[in-house]
Amino acid sequence: MPNVAEANRPAVLRVLVYSSDSDTRRQVMLALGRHPHPDLPPLEYLEVATAPVVVDRLDAGGIDLAILDGEAAPTGGLGLAKQLKDEVEPCPPILVLTGRPDDAWLANWSRAEAAVPHPIDPFRLTEAVVGLLRNSEAA
């Protein structure tokens, strides 16, 4: 018989992946896979290529995590993360992909909960995503 936490668990976790580069979006989804951790439900991805669509999707709700590419153009994910944290209530956890490890201060400024530098390291990305999703599920 499932416990209360399992009964209230969503069937899937919806992850928005934003980048103007389709290859970057593909790398993120391949790195994470559909089921990155046995304690979490499977992931369902929503690929987004433009900032206005990201804002619309987060305003609509139902997103459990947003992964934003800081190198996206014309709107970078770091500025977009800051805007989302300022304007969307409630805002899901945000992970930003930074151009380099030294850009971690920008991730702090953006109010993102986590940052992973390019090039994408599948282990580092999965560790960060699983941590964010576990924390948000616990909340």
Residue-wise pLDDT tens digits, 45-65: 999 999 999 999 999 999 999
Count how many domains the chain has: 1
Residue-wise pLDDT tens digits, 81-126: 999 999 999 999 999 999 888 888 888 999 999 999 999 999 999 9
Rounded to whole angstroms, how far apart are CA atoms 4 and 8?
6
Domain region containing 74: 4-138
Q: What is the pTM of this model?
A: 0.92
* Strands of the 65-69 sheet, one edge to the other: 43-48, 13-18, 65-69, 94-98, 114-117
Do residues 97 and 118 lie in contact, with contact meaning Cβ atoms separated by under 8 Å? yes
The enclosing domain of 19 has a CATH number of: 3.40.50.2300
